[in-house]
Structure 1
Amino acid sequence: MRTIDPAKHAARRQHIVNAACDLFATQGFERTTTAQICKAAGMSSGNVFHYFPNKRAIFIALLQDDKSEKTERLAAATAGADPWAALLDVVRFLAAPAAEPLAPPLVMEAMLQAHRDPELAELLSQDNTDEHTVITELLTKAAAAGQIDPDLDPGHAASWVMALIASMYTSAATEPSFDPAGQLPTLLLILERFLRGASQERRTGGAPPREANASAAAR
């Protein structure tokens, strides 16, 4: 019986996934054929199907490519001593791939396919749940530490944080002029104003700039 080298097996699977990535991103799942994947990977169909049972399995493996890294980063964030800094790190981590040329169209394609594939929909839903749980926990800790507005509902606020991150991908996929990397500082500033504004006011005892200007005008 031939012994399988786990490292070599994993490398071959990754090679196939990488070869399929550009095809799925530029052509979509439906228009990409197994023959095209085999050609891009430089492998026969028999060899490709030794590692993946079908095209769908390759697509799912591509979407789950960063699963272990994401799990580690989210776990590290919740274990950190500074929840606000950890939250910003999570936002940067989740938003950063939007600047990669292939990531936004792949995300859009995954959303499209999820409507047709219940198992894929469940995988994406679980990923969203994991992210939402961690962000909610960090917001809860940050509120307890006086770092953000304690009147915000952590779960609701987490949903808005995730919506802003998602908008980076949809904008990058649909607006050619949109620059995700250039827009990331604006996203972080929006979160700063949204999450910390009221807590900053309480700490300083001052009014927000708009209110302060209105008071000055009245005088």
Structure 2
Amino acid sequence: MRTVDPERHQARRQQILEAAVACFMRKGFHATRTAEICAEAGMSPGNLFHYFPTKEAIIAAIVEEDQRETAERFAAAAGAHNLYGALIAIVEESLALLADPVYTRIGLEVLAEAVRNPDVFASVARSEAGRKAQLVRLLDTAVERQQARLTMPPAQVADWILLLLDGAFGRAMVEERFDAQAYRSLVLGALAAVVVPVGEGA
């Protein structure tokens, strides 16, 4: 029985995801044919289907990749000395992504597919639940270490932060000249109403 090289497998999988993103950027999810993804990735349909049996599976993998990167950011934040500063950094990184047309376009394609496809919706819902849970843990830890004071329970503060970020994402979708830096000031100003730095976080 032939063994699978994990590194080669992951590299080929990533190659397909990057090819799919390039195709989705050009034509959108539904207008993109599997054959076009194969051509972009430089592989046969049989090879592609070995990694992803459907286009929907590719979308799910894109969501999982975003979830993994988010988890890594929160893990790094949890180990920071200044947790309030780490929280602000996460918010700023999230806003900075909105200046990336690939991030916003693919995010919109994922959300559109989630409306149509229950499996993709479930993937997005899991990702969002994980994002909120990690945010709540970071807020809880900041309070425990006396680096922040919250004006609402942690879960509500997390909802507030996510509403601000999701709202900024929505504006980035519809504003032709979206100014991420201007929204940074608005979001951080609103955040100051619910998360107050104290002690080492100040």
Taking structure 2 as the reference length, what is the TM-score of the superposition? 0.83
**Partner AA of 2:58 in structure 1:** I
In structure 1, the partner of 2:117 is 117
**Partner AA of 2:164 in structure 1:** L
User: What aligned pairs does 1:55-70 form with structure 2 within 5 A after superposition?
Assistant: 55-70=55-70
Instruction: Find the residue that maps to 1:30 and give its secondary structure.
Output: coil
In structure 2, stretches of 5+ residues that fail to align are none
Partners of 1:11 and 1:33 in 2: CA distance = 22
Matched, 1:186 2:185: yes
Partners of 1:64 and 1:134 in 2: CA distance = 15
In structure 2, the partner of 1:147 is 148
Partners of 2:68 and 2:182 in 1: CA distance = 27
In structure 1, the partner of 2:42 is 42
In structure 1, the partner of 2:18 is 18
The structure-2 alpha-carbon separation of the partners of 1:56 and 1:146, relative to structure 1 and needing over 3 Å to count, comes to closer
Partners of 2:195 and 2:157 in 1: CA distance = 12
Shift of the alpha carbon at 1:188? 5.0
Tell me how large the CA RMSD over aligned residues is: 2.5
In structure 1, the partner of 2:96 is 96
In structure 2, the partner of 1:216 is none
Shift of the alpha carbon at 1:104? 0.8
More contact order relative to length (CA 8 Å, sep ≥ 6): 2
**Partner AA of 1:147 in structure 2:** A
Instruction: Find the residue that maps to 2:152 and give its secondary structure.
Output: coil
CA contact (8 A) 1:172 1:178 kept: yes
**Partner AA of 1:118 in structure 2:** P
Taking structure 1 as the reference length, what is the TM-score of the superposition? 0.77
In structure 2, the partner of 1:74 is 74
Shift of the alpha carbon at 1:184? 5.5
Q: Percent identity?
A: 34
